[in-house]
Structure 1
């Protein structure tokens, strides 16, 4: 089912407001709520989020640079005509860098850090709330990324994570079970210090997510004429 609109909480600071608005627009695009070619009503969105139009405009400029939004002179901002491969690339690039981080992490993770990842995986398998699952999933991957010991990779991933839509667990009802299986396989590879295996599994994890994202948009008629 399509995600329903969610009013985001008020935040202080122009940078936070811009980031909040950009993330909400991404969520609506990648959940199929906003379809290709749809005009983005800046005034209505500002009212829904309880903010001024300035951070909305700034967010749309950011999204234009990402290729998610297209500005048309004297007409406004529209959802870009994204292709299926655009969606796949969106997730797979993130997966490639995350996979490299996992390969490095396999050599660096301490027994205590591995146990912390196991504990997170346990909590995710028992957590019914999709929003909390999203948070735990972020923490699971964040710990692996930081264990890479590469400031450059962590820096790149910090940029990439801003361009990946949140709400994946809510938009894809079958994803929690699939993700749980993937996480256990990744953990086994990390525990056995198999960097190449961990890298392959993480890349596939994100690639599989990209196919689910494409399938969801297909069901929502994202590419319908």
Structure 2
């Protein structure tokens, strides 16, 4: 289980309100109500809003409050492209440092993904797959970069995003094959393609939910 601070919990809650359409572009964020619902003071809510402003979810106006900003489709796609570049770097490094044990464990995860249909199980296997790649890459700087990147789908990605499970299965298998074959370029490319595909799926979902601002 991932332990979240009160500020992180508040940020996740606000993302869910936006994702579910309960807060839309231009709406004022009800800070007192959010604090009451979460059972926290306004301090974690303010911390959440500062974080969400950096991510582009809200705009803070001095002496007026925080307001929901306009989500941008290009920004959503860029988010996953950047994830792809970072994990692609990790996959390249892991391929160069691969061991028979790593290849075997990643292969078994891919087999388990093919058999698993529960989104919670898929998420667990995905975390294990990524963890093995990152541990083998062995780059503290890489981990620091990833800690600064926050998921934009507020909940179980595989339960909420149609097509995400298939993309994970196919992408994971391609990454494993490249690592097994000792091809760093192919491993990096496979990770990048998988996350680009996931970005396309998220963009389509957000568009279907009406979360993007209409064209000017």
TM-score bin, normalised by smaller chain:
0.7 to 0.9
Shift of the 99–33 alpha-carbon distance from structure 1 to 2, 3 Å rule, reads farther
| Corresponding residue for residue 181 of structure 1 | 170
Say if 2:83 and 2:195, in contact at 8 Å, map to a contact too.
yes
Gaps of 5+ in 1: 1-8
Per-residue CA deviation, residues 113-163 of structure 1 (Å, 9 max, x unaligned), is: 222222222333333332332232122112212211222222212222x35
* TM-score of the superposed pair, with normalisation by structure 2: 0.86
Shift of the 204–32 alpha-carbon distance from structure 1 to 2, 3 Å rule, reads farther
> Is 2:143 the partner of 1:146?
no
Instruction: Please identify, of 198-207 and 37-46, the stretch whose mean Cα deviation from structure 2 is larger.
Output: 37-46
1:75 alignment partner, one of 64, 67, 70: 64
| Corresponding residue for residue 3 of structure 1 | none
Secondary structure of the residue that 2:66 maps to in structure 1? strand
Gaps of 5+ in 2: none
Secondary structure of the residue that 2:26 maps to in structure 1? coil
Say if 1:68 and 1:79, in contact at 8 Å, map to a contact too.
yes
| Number of residues of Structure 1 aligned to a counterpart in Structure 2 | 212
Per-residue CA deviation, residues 162-220 of structure 1 (Å, 9 max, x unaligned), is: 35444211211321122101111111001101100011111111111111111111111
Alpha-carbon separation, structure 1, partners of 2:213 and 2:54: 25
Secondary structure of the residue that 1:38 maps to in structure 2? coil
Runs of 4+ in 1 over 6 A off after TM superposition: none
Q: What are the equivalent positions in structure 2 for 1:1-225 lying under 5 Å apart?
A: 16-29=5-18, 34-160=23-149, 162-165=150-153, 166-223=155-212
Per-residue CA deviation, residues 37-62 of structure 1 (Å, 9 max, x unaligned), is: 33322233233333333211111111
Shift of the 38–87 alpha-carbon distance from structure 1 to 2, 3 Å rule, reads farther
Alpha-carbon separation, structure 1, partners of 2:24 and 2:60: 15
Q: CA RMSD in A?
A: 2.4
